[in-house]
Amino acid sequence: MKAFLPYLLVPALAATGWVAGAWVPTPPAPQLPGVAAVEAPPQLGVPVPTPPEGDPVRVHMRALLPPGGLPETSRVGERRQEAPQVNAILIDGTRRVAQVDGELLAVGDRLGAYRVAAIETHRVLFVQTVVNQRHWIDVNAP
């Protein structure tokens, strides 16, 4: 008879939990805090209206962008500049050099806010460090 005790204990505990759970009251649903007033920082320059009761606060994305689009300088102080102009490309074996705006640059060299990432026979890949964009520029492209 003792071998059947664990088999009887599990259903007995389950029934006890079910009965005890029926007597416990259901907790009330949590209430989210309401927004009494929305005060936008003056740097945004855009008023944010108070939403109706229970609605989320909606702010246009242009209010969160800096004025004038892209920043004039990056976080390391580089000035935003126009795309460089590739004048010539020299490939000799494994060595690749490009003449960009009158300067000789190899892969990894920097020119202002741009870094040379790759040099091919007819174009150069620049990575703009200010906005982390990649630009392929052909030789003598305007």
Domain residue limits, the chain: 31-69, 86-138
Q: List Cα–Cα distances, 36 to 13, 19, 49, 58, 94, in angstroms.
A: 49, 44, 11, 15, 67
At CA 109, angle to CA 90 and CA 98, rounded to 5?
Answer: 15
pLDDT over threshold 70, residue 137: yes
Averaged pLDDT for residues 92-105? 89
Q: What letters, b where the CB count within 10 A reaches 16 and e where it falls short, cover 31-52?
A: eeeeeeeeeeeeeeeeebeeee
Q: Which two tokens stand for residue 67?
A: 């004025």
Higher pLDDT, 51 or 123: 123
18-32, 45-59, 64-78, 103-117: least confident range: 64-78
Pairing of strands 114-119, 103-105: unpaired
**Is residue 57 within 8 Å of 51, Cβ to Cβ?**
yes
Q: What is the mean pLDDT of residues 29-40?
A: 69
pTM: 0.44
Mean pLDDT rounded to a whole number for the chain: 76
Strands 123-128 and 133-138: antiparallel
Task: State the pLDDT at residue 120.
Answer: 92
* 109-123 pLDDT per residue, tens: 988 888 899 999 899
Distance CA 127, CA 118 (A): 9
